[in-house]
Every structure is written in C-alpha cells, then in structure tokens.
Chain A
Amino acid sequence: MTVHFKQDKPDKANRLDDMKQGVLGKALPRVEGLAKVTGTAPYAAEYPIADCAEGVLVTSTITRGEVRSIDKDAAFAMPGVIAVIDDPLLTTRAAQGTADEAPQQEPATVCYWGQPIALVVAETFEQARHAAKHLKIEYREQEGAPLDPQAVEPEEQEDETVRQGDLAHAMAEAAHAVDVTYTTKGHASAAMEPHAAIAEWDGKTLTVHASLQMLNYNISELADSLDMDEENIRLISRFVGGGFGSKLGVSEETVAASIAAKQLERPVRVVMSRQQVFQCIMRRSETTQRLRLCVDSDGKLTGFGHQALVSNLPGETFAEPVLQSSHFLYGGENRELLLEVARIHQMTAGSVRAPGEAVGMPALEGAMDVLAEKAGIDPVELRLKNIPEKDPEEGLPFSSHKLAECLKQGAEAFGWDHGPRQPRHTQEGEWWVGTGMASAARVHNIAEAKARVTLKADGSALVETDMTDIGTGTYTVVAQLAGEMLGLPPEKVLVDLGDTRHPRGPGSGGSWGASSIGSAVYVACLALREELADRIGIEESELELSDGKASAGESLTDLLDGKDLAREGHYEPGDIEDDFTASGFGAFFAQVRVNRFTGETRVDRMLGAFGFGRVLNHKTARSQCLGGITWSIGVALTEALEFDPTDGHLVNCDLAEYHVPVHRDVPDLDVIMVEERDPAASPIQAKGIGELGMCGGAAAIANAIYNACGARIFDYPMTPDRVLAAMPD
C-alpha cells in the first residue's frame, strides 16, 4: 500500500520531536563502516562474477573531428583480445545530473581530446589495456576548435538574468563601492573509487553493478542509451566510494560494459583508469566573475552586481550556476546578475561538489571583504547589516534563516577580533599570521522520493529504496529515522539501498538525499503508526513506541500477529517550493600563515558554523561539514585543473598532480551546528548539509591571506606564485 504525501505548506507539527525512541540525531557510527574499512563491502568492480571479460575504453587523441577508421585486425592479433566495439550507441560523455535521457552518443564524432571512442574487450585487464593503447585509429581532424572561453562569443543564460533598479547609478552615488573580478580554475570531483561497472545479460534482462549516485535517473539514461525498456534493466550500487557529482549521471563505462555484455553474451567489466576518470567524466567549469558591490554610509548595500562567465561543450545544458546564492544572500535594491556560458571543446563541464556556490561564494565573499575594508566596517558586521528580511529578488519569505546566528556564534567561538583590521599585524618567524571570515550559503534542494518500510513479524523493520549511500551516512540516518518513528533501536532496522528493484528515490546529489529519502521513510512510518494505533484502538497522535513496545504495554510483535506489515511512502514537494526561498546558511572563520619568503600558505585553524535544519546524526553531519571545509582549503589553495592551450586536453589527471588537501594541509577544524527546525524544507524539518560546508570557506582563507600579509589576490587557487606576485615588498 502506497501512501502519498505532497507537501504544500509548512509542517509545524514536528512529529519527530514527539517520538520516544531517542535515536534520531544521535552521533551513531556508520552502520556499514566496519564492512568498508575491512574491505568486505563490495564496490562495483569487486563482485565476483564468473567468466567476466574485461573492457578498457579507448579515447581520442584529437580535439575535434571524426574517427575515419579503427584497425581492428591489428587488435585481434594481440593476445586475449575478444572484441573491439565502436557501436554508435556508445556514449561519449557522462550524463548530466537528473538528465533522465541518454547523453551524447555516436563515438565517431569527436568533440574533445580524451573522448571515449571505442571499447576493447579481452580476457584480462592487462591485455585489454595493452590493446587499447595500440589500436590504430585514423581521424579526420577539424582544425581550430575553440578552447579559450574568453575568445568566443558567450551565450546568456537568460533564466539567471536579473536587472533591478540601476546598478551603475547606485555604484556612482554610493558612499563606498567595489568593482573587482575574480577567477577560479576548473575542479575535479576526484572520488576515491574510479568509475566502474560489471554488466551481465541473460538474453532478456541486463543486470549492472555500477558506481552511481542516482539510480532512478541512471536507469532511464542507460535504457535510453541502449534503446531498451527500463523494465529489463536492474542497476545495483550498494556501496559507492564517493561521487561528489561525478556519478550523478550514467557514465561511459556503464553503457560500454552493457553494450559489450549484450553483444558478447558474457559478463563484461569496465573500470576507468584514474586518468580516464579525470579526463572524460566531468570538470567543474573555470569561472571569471565580476562583482560590483556598493553601500551607503551606514554600510547597507544599495547595489549588488554579480556576473559570471563559465564554459561547456557545445550542446550541453549545464552551466555552472555561479549566481545561485547571490540571488538571495544579501540585500541591495539595485541588482544586476548575469550568467554566460562559452562553448569550447574541452571535456564536459558538469556538477562537481556544490555546483555554483563552490566557486560563486568564494568570489562574492572575497569581494565583501574588500568592501568591508573600504567602508571601514568589520567584515562580520557588514554581513549582519545586509541580511535581507525576505528574498530581495523574488520577495519570498525564507523558510528559515540562521545566517546571523552562525555569524555570531562562529565569531564568538573562533575568538574573532572585531577591532580595526590591518594586514601584517602579526609575524611569527618567517610567517605572517592573519584571520579571515566569510558567509556560507547553499540552496536547499529536495525531490520526490519513495521508500518501502516493512515491520517484520519478528519485530524488526526493513527499509527498501534505490537510494544510494555514497559515503555520506544514508544507511545510518535512514535506520535512525525509521527506528525513531517505529520505536526500534537502529540495529533492529535493516536498510537495503542501491537497487532499482526497490521503490525509487532521487538518489544522492545536491545535498538532497537525506531530506528527500528521509521524508519518504517518514511518510511510510507515519502510515505504519496509524495502522498500529488503529489496531490498539487509539489515535496515532496518542501512540508512543519505544524498544518494540507501545506505551500501553502491547509489544510490536503481538500487534503484528505473525504477519509482516508494509507501507510504501511517497513524498513529493508541492507548491511550497514556490512560497519560500530555502537555503542552508553558515559562517567560516580561518586563521592562516603566509611565508614571507616563499608565499606558501598554511591553514592554522578553521571553524564553520552551519544552520541546516534538523540534524539527523551529529556524527555523520559533522563529518560532512569537516569534508566541506577540507574542500574549501583545496579551492582556496591548491585545486586547479590545467588544460593544454593547444589541444585542450587535461594535463594534471591524477591525484599526484591534481592537489587535493592531504592530512598535513588540514588543521584542527571546528564545527558548530546551529540546529533548527525548518518546517518548509521537508516534513522531517531537515535541509541538505553535504555541500554547505564548502560554500564560501575558500574566501575565509583568501581574506585571511590578505589580513596576514597584505596580498589581495583575485585568482583561486592562491598558490605560492600568485601570493608572491601580489605580496607587497
């Protein structure tokens, strides 16, 4: 039986707070943690499947043009080679998140250097890799593919454009104004587990173990790619070794393994090399961002301008949504926001952790620091002065808003000095030491979701959904949520995820996983509670369940009377999305040291205070915040995709040369969770947290670099060469 709940108005009942089990929110360790750290949790490529052939993708060595011919005979002469597949159904890019349809196919048409063009299948992985590298391919190359976003006429993303009042006039009349341009480099998701799939075909049904974030969308993307019916496909992703956006859409290896398994009537495994993951999945676009901000003599924003240029391949719908939080974070009645995308022939740009705010917020919050200095206002104070009452463009109320609390609590806990700020106030040996801060904001996303919850006759519960756990703690928070609602300790709740045979949810992405699937589980559990209350002869609101017993003494097993009881919860966000602006908010504080000789920057300590609704598990939520802050350090100091100026290929395509922060770069991090109940965000009053922790943190570091050594830098990442170039003598 399915129970459908469409949320059209805020839910102020907060039923979860009436529950008695007392497990929701607790800092429980991840239920699958032991299996993962002992190597017994199988990742996509690790399923022991008999007679599995091994496929390796072949990628293009031209930027743009056509594959004229592939010398397959030479490959077949090599030991172990079973097939060379250049089927027109092979996909050449990963699907964008929630695309729900096949990405670009027809591999003979080359649009970027490193694009998959064929698959070599052999008995062993080594044979396949060797043959893939030695395949003789003839191309017809098309010269002059545009590679520089600055050199082409960009397309305006019209739905992002805002023109309110007269910004130019406001800038001219303002007491203080800044007009600065920031740049950010491309980023990679760099998940630990490479993209991988094993496909099995039994003549009718295709079963695929893959590493994916959003099975509900991925199954239709795969079906569309293969020209198959969804009903004949089963996708399984029980454990995913990180995604960060790179596994939102079905990617090339999953489609290639499926095509090969069907053609060869034999299981086929395709695992991308680390270099392929970097070169043919997704990049975050580089950005160029102009910020125009102006305030009156009281420090109130009168003008707010943010325009950004990003890039992508021709034909891609995704444009890094740089302005996402700029639309509502601060006031300013004269507004100009503009997003443009340049079409260039570099690998696909798509979602990488916190698309939009991950790079938009570091630019905006850097410019706010410049403004604070110019206006002679403490940076925390400047932000507090400019928190709008309601969405400054849409006029909508906020669902909840914890920015001020986060700024105040964060400043207090960090020991923020509200006094006058002068660069180079502290020197310790060779190091200049300084502090900086920034606001955090990340839009709240939520989506339709279904989950089945079964009370088993033995008094345990089973939750089934195709939702994924990409390392975030889904298994654990779902068990806590169901346990809380049904009066069971979490170990009595078995959570079965990552299988398209289960009811479908939206998957993991955009930080929407926990609130979306949690809401579906909540709806199912509420229906189960109603049935149990009915069996006792009381109202659901009177039902108290804990440790497998109802308050009047009835045990759950007696109430079930030897039979399982199941409900499928179907949650759907309703009109409420049009009535509120919903976002997570927060504040970052950082102390850094900058070497006066070498320009090396090291982060001494960092604090983030975040408000994101109900906290479902204080440990997994805190871990998400820590991960986010760590990403901030990478954005601020080291992470940069480098593309060759001649052919556009990605040059630094492994973890030795693409520098994510490592242990020594991540100091003591402090997290404050400013817990709240957001009645409009979801029926469980929770918002997303995964990405919020990196949305603006890089600016706290950039602003601290300026405060430390006087180098005001407008280009991320702030590597030693850039720090030295900007450092005053």
Chain B
Amino acid sequence: MKPFQYARARTLVDAAQITAKEDAIPIAGGTNLLDLMKLQVETPDELADINRIGFGEIEDSDDGGLSIGALATNTATAVHSRVRSDYPVLARAILAGATQQLRNKATTGGNLCQRTRCYYFTNIDQPCNKREPGSGCGAIDGIAKLHAVLGTSSQCIATYPGDMAVALSALDAQVKIATPQGGERTVPVQDFHCLPGDTPWRENVLEAGEIITAVTLPPPVSGTQIYRKVRERSSYAFALVSVAAIIELKDGKFSRADLAFGGLAHKPWHDPRITEALVGQVPSSELFDRAADILLEDARGFGENDFKIPLARRTLHAVLEQATEDAA
C-alpha cells in the first residue's frame, strides 16, 4: 500500500477542498477503495474521510419522493420503511449485492462509484487501459466471462458491477452533486456512468472535487417491482445478468415498463426504446422477444461471455412473464 495522508473532513467544504487536489480521493465505507489500495490499483496521496460531513439521512422529499443521503449505508437504505413499501426494487437490488457486513459499511455515494471487478484491472502487473491508459486491455483476448456485451470499446470491455445503481436507473433517480465552487448540480442516474469509449478510466461524470450528496427518487409509481439477478452462487457474487423492472398492466396491456440491466455494460443499461416497444402492447412471448431484440441489437460477445446475450434475453423473458403473472 502506498503511504498516504489521511484527513477527516468536517464539512462539505472541507471535503471539496481536499478532494480537489490531484490524487486525493474521498473515502466513505471504503469497502471497495481499501481493497484496491492494498492491491495498489488505487494509489491516492490523500484520503478525505467524509463520514462526518452529514448527508446520512433518508428523508421524504417535498414532491412525495425520497432523498437518500450519500452517506446512508446500503443496509439503512434497504431496510427503510418507505424504500421497502414504495421502492421495493431498490431494497431487493441492494440485498442481492455483497454481504451483510459489506452492506453495513457501504454507502449510497460509494456504491455508485464502485469500480469494475475486471481481473485485469485489479492486477497491476497486467495491462489495463482503465488503470494505466495506453497499456492495452488484457481481457479482450483473455478471461472475459464477467465482461460486457453492450457499449464496449476496443479499449475496454469491463462492466459496472453494482446492483443498487441498476434499480436506481429503472426508478429514474437523480444524483445530487456538490461542486467545489459551492454549487450543486443534478444528474440522472441513467447519465451518471460513462461508456468506456476512448476514455475507459473515466467511469462517471464526477469532476475533481465534486462530491455526491444524495440520490433522489421520484414520487412512487404503481406496478410490480422486480429485481432479478442471475449468478452461479446465491450470495456474494456479482451479476452475470441482472434486470430491474417496474411494470404495470392495465386492461391486459403494459401501461408501464421501466427496465434497466446490470452485468451487460460499463454502466447500468437503460434503453427507452424497450419501454416504448412494450407499453400499450399485450404481453406475449413474441413481444418479449422484440424487447430483447432491441436490448441486444448491438450486443457483441468476446468468446467466454457470449452466453450473456442469450442469458439476457431469457432473463428478460423471465421478468416480463413474472410481472404479467403478478398482474393477473
């Protein structure tokens, strides 16, 4: 582990000042960051401990939605009564991830910023354009079972590994970000993460010194909420494919179909064309296939992860069938 300075921020302004420096990183739960520091993947000169700057509350918003503080733990969020009753897809997604011990430490903001599990990213003696720009990608011709099939680039085929953000994407949540100038900006979760392109090191839209303060959920909507995570073991495994869905049927037709997908790309995958294709239609296997065709139109496997393409199709079928049955 590279030696580093540690500073405890007392306020958001403190935190912004420290993290605006080059090679300074905020630390909250540290469940991902500390592991990566031990592996020398993350080598900050300075850590700003933001655990005492506030922003840990989960509160009702004026518009009837819910504001989840950036420092609320994943456990606190998953067990919150309004999350459980109004946004169950979020509770389910969080509980499908990691372990109880990790969820007790992990925070909303930290979870959004968690880094990929690509084996080549976490091994500093292997090439990785994300970790070391220009060094190449070990995964493209290597072991790529976990890797992306959508939105990849010749530079990087890593996935965003989390579950929570997939549910937030389906819920169309917003990320509130404090800027170092003392301002605030809001970014939809759907736009928060980036595709790798030619800048795979850039994983989200946060600029230096910017700190997430909250995630806000819109007022609750009616319908069935499902989080479906496919994995080879039933706990503490990252998704091969996951689907977050908020679905409602009226008069035998889909009236709502908000979907997001995990395990397929460098970000939670959201494609409004799928919603358009489903809403107003009567559920059928053919319709589900059409939705899957849209989702997977540009999908490309890298050998070992080819299976994700049919798996995503089948999982989408499973979710839409379940939602249809729930509605019946």
Contacts and interface: CB of A to CB of B under 8 A. Distances in A.
Q: Are A and B bound to each other?
A: yes
Interface of A: 61, 79, 126, 129-130, 133, 273, 275, 430, 595, 597-600, 602, 637-638, 642-646, 649, 651-652, 656-657, 659, 661-665, 717, 719-721, 724-725
Interface stretch (B104-112, B168-176, B233-241, B268-276): B233-241
Given A595-B318, A645-B143, A724-B314, 14 more contacts: A129-B1, A597-B318, A598-B311, A642-B145, A643-B143, A644-B142, A649-B123, A652-B119, A652-B143, A656-B236, A657-B119, A665-B233, A720-B307, A724-B310
Given A61-B125, A637-B233, A652-B119, A130 B314 contact: no
Given A133-B124, A656-B117, A657-B117, A602 B234 contact: yes
B138 interface: yes
B232 interface: yes
19 contacts: A79-B3, A129-B1, A129-B38, A133-B124, A275-B123, A430-B322, A595-B318, A599-B311, A602-B234, A638-B232, A644-B142, A652-B119, A657-B117, A659-B233, A662-B234, A662-B235, A720-B311, A724-B314, A725-B307
Contacts of B38: 129, 273
Contacts of A652: 119, 143
A597 B314 contact: yes
Given A597-B318, A598-B314, A644-B142, A126 B236 contact: no
Contacts of A61: 125
A326 B120 CA distance: 40
Contacts of A649: 123, 126
A663 B310 contact: no
Interface centre among B124, B145, B234, B235 (most CB of A within 10 A): B234
Nearest to A279: B123
Nearest to A59: B125
Interface string B133-165: 000001001110100000000000000000000
Interface in B236-280: 236-237, 240-241
Contacts of B131: none
A724 B235 CA distance: 21
A661 B141 contact: no
Contacts of B231: 600, 720
B125 A642 contact: no
Contacts of B318: 430, 595, 597-598
Residue with the highest number of chain B CB atoms closer than 10 Å, among A643, A644, A657, A717: A644
Contacts of A600: 230-232
A665 B236 CA distance: 11
Contacts of A597: 314-315, 317-318
B117 A720 contact: no
Contacts of B39: 275
A126 B232 contact: no
B285 interface: no
Contact of A130 (B1, B124, B126, B307): B1
Contacts of B233: 637-638, 659, 661-662, 664-665
A701 to B, nearest CB: 13
Given A597-B314, A597-B315, A645-B142, A130 B236 contact: no
B3 A126 contact: yes
A649 B142 CA distance: 10
Given A129-B1, A602-B234, A659-B233, A642 B311 contact: no
A721 B234 CA distance: 15
Contacts of A646: 138, 141-142
Interface string B201-225: 0000000000000000000000000
A720 B235 contact: no
Given A129-B1, A598-B314, A651-B123, A720 B232 contact: yes
Nearest to B146: A657
Interface in B263-306: none
B146 to A, nearest CB: 8
Contact of B2 (A130, A598, A720): A130
A60 to B, nearest CB: 9
- 8 nearest interchain CB pairs? A721-B307, A597-B318, A651-B119, A664-B234, A61-B125, A664-B235, A598-B230, A597-B314
B61 interface: no
A664 to B, nearest CB: 4
Nearest to B142: A644
Interface residues of B, number: 36
Interface centre among A61, A275, A642 (most CB of B within 10 A): A642
B81 interface: no
A166 to B, nearest CB: 41
Contact of A644 (B1, B138, B235, B317): B138
A642 B142 CA distance: 10
B311 A662 contact: no
B199 interface: no
B40 to A, nearest CB: 5
A273 B317 CA distance: 43
A659 B234 CA distance: 10
B236 A662 contact: yes
A600 B318 CA distance: 13
B162 to A, nearest CB: 14
A513 to B, nearest CB: 30
A651 B40 CA distance: 16
Nearest to A727: B314
Contacts of B141: 645-646
Contact of A659 (B40, B123, B232, B241): B232
A149 to B, nearest CB: 17
A597 B320 CA distance: 12
A666 to B, nearest CB: 10
A113 to B, nearest CB: 8
Contacts of A663: 235
Contacts of A133: 40, 124
Contacts of B3: 79, 126, 130
Which one of A273, A643, A649 has the highest number of Cβ atoms from chain B below 10 Å of its Cβ?
A649
Contacts of B117: 656-657
Contacts of B40: 130, 133
Contact of A651 (B124, B142, B311, B317): B142
Contacts of B123: 275, 649, 651
Contacts of B236: 656, 662
A642 B143 CA distance: 7
A273 B141 CA distance: 27
A126 B234 contact: no
Contacts of B230: 598, 600, 720
A133 B141 CA distance: 25
Contacts of B310: 724
Contact of B143 (A637, A651, A717, A725): A651
A665 B119 CA distance: 24
Contacts of A598: 230, 241, 311, 314-315, 318
Contacts of A637: 232-233
B137 to A, nearest CB: 12
Contact of A665 (B125, B234, B240, B314): B234
Interface in B1-48: 1-3, 38-40
A600 B234 CA distance: 9
Best-buried of A430, A598, A643 by chain B (most CB within 10 Å)? A598
A443 B38 CA distance: 42
Interface string B98-130: 000000000000000000010110011110000
Interface string B163-206: 00000000000000000000000000000000000000000000
A275 B124 CA distance: 12
A548 to B, nearest CB: 47
A273 B122 CA distance: 14
A637 B234 CA distance: 11
Contacts of B241: 598
B138 A724 contact: no
A719 B305 CA distance: 12
A721 B311 contact: yes
B119, B120, B138, B322: residue with the most chain A Cβ atoms closer than 10 Å:
B119
